[in-house]
Amino acid sequence: MATSLSVEELKRRDTVLGMVLDSLFDGVYIVDRHRNILFWNRGAEEMTGYTAEEVTGRCCGAGILNHIDENGYLLCRRGCPVRRTIENGERVEAKLYPLRKSGERFPVRTHMAPIRDADGHTIAAIEVFRDISHEEDFRILQEKFNQIVQRYVSRTTFEEMLVQAQSGGESQAQIRDLTILYLDIVGFTPLSERHTPQEVVMILNSVFGMCDVITRERHGDIDKFIGDAMMAVFLDANDAVSAADQLLREALAHYNRTRAEEGQEPIRVRIGINSGTVLQGDIGSAERKDLTVIGDVVNTAQRIESICAPNSMLLSEASLARLNPETACLFTLEGDVAVKGKETRIRVFRPTE
């Protein structure tokens, strides 16, 4: 700025600087070293409801904007960013909530910077702020929308949707080594005939809700719900086995104790686990696609589940081979079994009793 810049110059509205600041849509105000307001532009007037005549000469902390931060702390009493700018020469950016003359708070994105004279001494501070009410409304709406979407699609699918939205392209199919956990509710058809549709939905939501929480805790991802069945994918076979064990021994057992107290029949499930290479990609039509996994490994996991005893799990030798020794020793060979679609028998293993 000009070498003649002074506090008196900053007060004037008829200078080039004053006219430029007054033409901005953003709110702008300038304070001296005592935080007395020297300049208040039209943008600040429109956003806050205070006219320049009302605030000029007053301390900005004297009940005018009364900024609070995102945690609700009143910054005029402690942590004032304008004071930091004046005393330390800091340039500060923050999201704050000033007070309108009408008494309403509104969110702003604000930038503060020192103003120095020709000798480099800080003589004032300038704050430029923008009303971000619409941006905040959109952010909240977006977060609520994201939460709703994640109720209906897997975490992997949701994250892939974000990547595609940001890049503008479509994901590429991948060959991945994964472990598939396939769970099915035993005797669902007769169960649904004995209960109202609302009760059936409640049972499914209870069981699948447990599955979802446990799967996430064990670093897996629900790929899809298929009627009374569920399929989850894991990078680590140890996590898949741990999730199945927790579901059977703890979550489902507790759920059935509660049902017994209410005079209701127990819910039984079967779990099949298989590991290997699968194709993961977007499957569907141009209008609707799901990020899912397909292949013989998936089909085999489902068929292993179908021969499993109620309230137990079976896993393939491919999954057993991926377990650490401490976990693998907890399983016993069930036998070589024939499964639909396989020409040769496969070896399956059950937890040692």
Q: Which tops the pLDDT comparison, 291 or 259?
A: 259
Position 5 scores a pLDDT of 75
**Could you tell me which residues come within 8 angstroms of residue 220 by beta carbon, excluding any fewer than 6 positions away?**
181, 232, 233, 234, 239, 240, 243
Q: How large is the average pLDDT for residues 248-253?
A: 92
Position 94 scores a pLDDT of 87
Position 50 scores a pLDDT of 93
| Residue 157 confidence (pLDDT) above 70 | no
Position 111 scores a pLDDT of 93
Give the model confidence (pLDDT) of 343-353 as tens digits: 778 889 999 97
Q: Which helix (H) or strand (E) holds 174?
A: strand 174-185
**Confidence band, pLDDT 50/70/90 cuts, at residue 278:** confident
Position 284 scores a pLDDT of 62
| Residue 152 confidence (pLDDT) above 70 | no
In the DSSP assignment, the letter for residue 76 is T
In the DSSP assignment, the letter for residue 62 is T
Position 304 scores a pLDDT of 93
Q: Which of 48-62, 159-173, 217-231, 260-274 has the highest mean pLDDT?
A: 260-274
- Work out the percent of the chain whose per-residue pLDDT is above 70: 86
Round to whole Å and give the CA distance between 290 and 157: 7
Q: How large is the average pLDDT for residues 20-24?
A: 91
Q: Which helix (H) or strand (E) holds 274?
A: strand 269-284
| Residue 3 confidence (pLDDT) above 60 | no
3-state secondary structure of 341: coil
Q: Which residues pair with 284 in a beta bridge?
A: 289
Full set of structural domains in the chain with CATH: 7-132 (3.30.450.20), 171-351 (3.30.70.1230)
In the DSSP assignment, the letter for residue 335 is E
Give the model confidence (pLDDT) of 44-89 as tens digits: 999 999 999 999 999 887 778 888 876 667 787 677 888 889 888 8
| Residue 1 confidence (pLDDT) above 50 | no
**Confidence band, pLDDT 50/70/90 cuts, at residue 20:** very high
Q: Which tops the pLDDT comparison, 271 or 219?
A: 271
Position 130 scores a pLDDT of 92
Q: How large is the average pLDDT for residues 7-29?
A: 89
Give the model confidence (pLDDT) of 289-330 as tens digits: 666 778 888 889 999 999 999 999 999 999 998 888 899 999
Position 134 scores a pLDDT of 87
| Residue 171 confidence (pLDDT) above 60 | no
Position 166 scores a pLDDT of 60
Q: Which of 61-65, 98-102, 277-281 has the highest mean pLDDT?
A: 98-102
Round to whole Å and give the CA distance between 209 and 215: 10
- Write down the H helix ranges in the chain: 7-11, 16-23, 42-48, 52-55, 81-88, 133-152, 155-167, 188-193, 197-217, 237-246, 252-261, 296-306, 317-320, 325-328
Lowest-confidence pick of 174-183, 219-228, 337-346? 337-346
- Work out the percent of the chain whose per-residue pLDDT is above 90: 40
Q: How large is the average pLDDT for residues 229-237?
A: 90
Q: Which tops the pLDDT comparison, 45 or 164?
A: 45
Q: How large is the average pLDDT for residues 260-269?
A: 93
Position 4 scores a pLDDT of 57
